[in-house]
Amino acid sequence: MRDTIDSRLKSPDGVDLVEAQIDDASGLRVGIVVSRFNPQIGEAMLFAASAELKKMHLDSANGLLVIIVPGALEIPIAMQQMAASANVDAIIALGSVIRGDTYHFEVVANESCRGVMQVQLKYNIPIANGILTVDSSEQAWSRMEHKAASCARTVVEMCNLLRKLAKA
């Protein structure tokens, strides 16, 4: 018999699956690094991620640290410093890179993403990349709240999963 997990994944007979609680952020300390380059989008993403974490019982007074940086390229170094010294369990990167008329979009999109991944692997800390890379402001507005909330859920699930694996 096959068990259904999260209505999408099936477990083959005899296989143990390890999954984490996805909706409990109590006791976690989450860092958010947000770019102010497109300030209305960054602010809306910050509010959406914070609201989602609060729904998952994160103590926003003691469990949330927010750092504002100039742009997407500055997010990785702020995350690196946060991971090294701020005693956080996970970090969310938030911002938007909107395509312009030059190759600069590709540079910023690719390098910010690469930097985020490097920090995650170097510090063995869950990081959700919520840096939107879009063709227009309209695309950013239509995706920002969902993406930010999804990032909040992702870091909570990954923190809980890593804790569970450490005990296994």
What are 89-128's pLDDT values in tens digits? 999 999 999 998 888 999 999 999 999 999 999 999 999 9
Show the DSSP H helices in the chain as ranges: 39-55, 75-85, 104-123, 137-167
Q: Is 104 among the residues known to form the active site?
A: yes
Q: Give strand pairing partners of 5.
A: 9
pTM of the model: 0.90
Contacts of 61 (CB under 8 A, 6+ apart): none
User: Which percentage of the chain shows pLDDT scores above 90?
Assistant: 77
Q: Where are the domains of the chain?
A: 33-167
The predicted-structure confidence for 54-76, as pLDDT tens digits, reads as follows 999 998 888 999 999 999 999 99
Residue 67, H or E segment? strand 64-69
Ramachandran category for residue 20: left, alpha or beta (phi over 0 → left; psi -120 to 50 → alpha) = beta
Tell me which CATH code domain 33-167 carries.
3.40.50.960
> Is the model's pLDDT at 5 over the cut of 70?
no
Which one of the listed residues 55, 104, 114, 122 is annotated catalytic? 104
